[in-house]
Structure 1
Amino acid sequence: MGYVHTRDHVKIFYRLIGTGQKTILFIHPPGMGHITFKQQLPLSNHFRLLYIDLRGNGKSEKGEHPIRFSLLARDISDVCAQLEIPKVIICGYSNGASIALETSLNYPNLVEGLLLIGAFPKVDSILLYSEFLLGILTAQCNGMGIISKTIAYAHSYSKKFAEEMAAYFKKTEANTLYQYYKEGLTYDCSERLRDITAPLLLIYGELDYYVHHYQKEFIACLPDTKVAYVSGAKHQVPTKFPNELNAITREFIRTLK
């Protein structure tokens, strides 16, 4: 583990572990940090795992630029370049999947495959819009205690992990989180989906109903898109259904050339 400096001199925390010819890069949702994917550590027996804290999250610096997904994609490219990793399979979760999409669109030669959990290319449903709006308003009111506990509880598989995630979430400043949520609310790559060249697997919780409809848009633009449902799961697949996610990940990577 250590830090990589981006081209605008921002320190990005990373952790690189495991062995294997393939490297999986994990992209977390706003505020949650790389610990979101703790339960994916067993994959290090088969692959290299590259964990990062996005700028302004966890142990990474924020920098002076406003948060844009294109900027975060550039950060990811910088991290991989400095660590001399020419290809990655990106696993993006929730709004982290949107950042994964932007990375794939802007740096197609870097991305070997896309595993997107609860993904959406834009926010076009009332429920999803309401979630983002609530996050924006709470961040504007500096309600980091409320947001951190709510998200930590929703993703907890133990009391210890809930406390760890709540504490890690609070490392993000309220204004930074506000920028992430605002960018996530307005981000839309629907018109560019056809330009994605990497193999794509969408993973949805069986009970995560309000994002299921997005698969139709992906498939319409990218007919070779594969879809996997995790039985009994809602949105929190990486933390609450890790065995299923890890098995799906191993099988997807096995199919890559």
Structure 2
Amino acid sequence: MPYFTSINTQIHYKSTGSGTPIIFVPPPALGAEAFQYQFSQLADHFQVITFDPAGNGKSGKENIQEQSIREWSDDILALADHLSLEKILLCGYSLGGSPVQEFAAAHPDRAAGIILLASFPEVRTKLLAAKIKTGEAVTAMNFKRFLAAGLAVAHSSNKKVRKNLQRNIEQSSFSVVKNIYRNGRHYSIMNKISSIECPVAFIYGAWDPVARPYADLYRQKLPQLQLIKISNASHQLTTRAAPQVNAIIRSLYQ
């Protein structure tokens, strides 16, 4: 399994295909397995790259302090440097969109474009805050099997996909995951969102009560935004709406 080093931690990543490089950034705990359908189905047109954030999945669990959103963004930069990639596309799913936005604002010369799947610029709604707080509570109590089963079932009805997700979640350090949830709940890109110069696509499900409220906020703040709504889809876009998501990515950057 390939690894790279970032902030003294060994981080597991996967890469397949050739073409325009695109790094997929997952939310806490799910890790690289959140992008199983993108990894297998987009490699004909892209170099598809994803990774387990520090403390998650197969990545190292040592030498990790807070794992802030900025540190998470630094991991993306370290991965791009490790692969000798100058310009990259970035796709962040849910809370994984926060380090993607941080990266694009901090390194405008390295971001060719960003895709935000059911993401948010900051936590403004009570529903989103409550969902993240639930994740913090479950990880604080170390209920690994409970969280693993719940997230796996929410993301797929396919047994193999569920098994891969559960295994990755159960391998994660829940103290690290809890810190990521907490830091993500307090994170905001709003004070530097104007520093994002690259094209931005915000993709959300028509039935998603979590991300949908942020569509107007993104529209107001990002003049280069492409706003894309997927009918009959909720929050779990990478798995339950994989055909639509993959088709949109191809249409945007093929």
Q: Report if TM-score (shorter chain) is over 0.5.
A: yes
Letter in 1 for 2:14: R
Kept after mapping to 1: 8 A contact 2:205/2:235: yes
Aligned to 2:237: 237
User: In the TM superposition, what is the alpha-carbon distance from 1:160 to its structure 2 partner?
Assistant: 2.1
After TM superposition, give the deviation of residue 192 of structure 1 in Å. 1.3
Partner-residue secondary structure (3-state), 1:29: coil
Distance (Å, rounded) in 2 between the aligned partners of 1:37 and 1:12: 17
Which amino acid is the alignment partner of residue 57 of structure 2? G
Return the offset for 1:161.
1.5
SS in 2 for 1:67: coil
Partner Cα separation in structure 2 for residue 106 and residue 214 of structure 1: 22
Give the match for residue 24 of structure 1: 22
Give the conservation status (yes or no) of the 8 Å contact 2:54–2:64: no
Give the match for residue 57 of structure 2. 58
In 1, the alpha carbon distance for the partners of 2:25 and 2:157 equals: 20
User: Aligned runs of 1:100-179 on 2, under 5 Å?
Assistant: 100-179=100-179
CA gap of 1:56–1:225, structure 2 versus 1, over 3 A, is same
Partner residue of 2:42?
A: 43
Task: Find the residue that maps to 1:178 and give its secondary structure.
Answer: helix
Amino acid at match of 2:47: R
Which residue pairs with 1:9 in the alignment? Answer: 8
CA distance in 2, matches of 1:218, 1:233: 20
Q: 2:165 and 2:82 mapped to 1: Cα distance?
A: 28
Distance 2:74 2:9 in 1: 12
- Which amino acid is 2:27 matched to? P
Which deviates more, 59-68 or 144-153? 59-68
TM superposition score normalised by structure 2: 0.96
- Displacement of 1:236 in angstroms is 0.6
Q: What CA distance in whole angstroms lies between the structure 2 residues aligned with 1:211 and 1:42?
A: 25
Amino acid at match of 1:238: T
Q: Distance in 2 between matches of 1:221 and 1:69?
A: 20
- Shift of residue 229 of structure 1? 1.0
Query: Does structure 1 conserve the Cα–Cα contact (< 8 Å) formed by 2:17 and 2:45?
Result: yes
Whole-angstrom CA distance in 1 between matches of 2:83 and 2:11: 12
8 A contact 2:194–2:221 mirrored in 1: yes
Please list every run of at least 4 consecutive aligned residues from structure 1 whose deviation after the TM superposition is greater than 2 angstroms: 62-65
Q: Is the 8 A contact 2:64 2:176 kept in 1?
A: no
Between the aligned partners of 2:172 and 2:191, the Cα distance in structure 1 is: 31
Task: Give ranges in structure 2 of 5+ residues lacking alignment.
Answer: none
Which one-letter code corresponds to 1:32 in the other structure?
Answer: L
Number of aligned residue pairs? 252
CA offset at residue 59 of structure 1? 1.1
CA distance in 2, matches of 1:127, 1:179: 19
Alpha-carbon contact 1:193-1:218 (below 8 Å) kept: no
Q: Does structure 2 retain, via aligned residues, the 8 Å contact 1:157–1:239?
A: no
Q: Verify the 8 A CA contact 2:118 2:204 in the aligned structure 1.
A: yes
How far 1:102 moved relative to its partner? Answer: 0.9
1:248 aligns with 2:225: no
Whether the aligned pair in 1 keeps the contact of 2:36 and 2:161 (CA below 8 Å) is no
Contact 2:104–2:111 under 8 Å retained in 1: yes
Aligned partners of 2:144, 2:217: CA distance in 1, in Å? 34
SS state at 1:44 partner: coil
Measure, in 2, the Cα distance between the counterparts of 1:210 and 1:11: 32
Query: What is the CA deviation profile of residues 134-188 of structure 1, one whole-angstrom value per residue up to 9, with x for unaligned ones?
Result: 1111111111211111101100131222122112101111211110110111111
- 136-145 vs 112-121, greater mean Cα deviation: 136-145
Query: Deviation at 1:64?
Result: 2.9
5+ residue gaps, structure 1, are none
- Aligned partner of 1:68 in structure 2 is 68
Distance 1:201 1:85 in 2: 21
**2:23/2:88 contact within 8 Å kept:** yes
Q: TM-score, normalised by structure 1?
A: 0.95
1:230 Cα deviation (Å)? 1.1
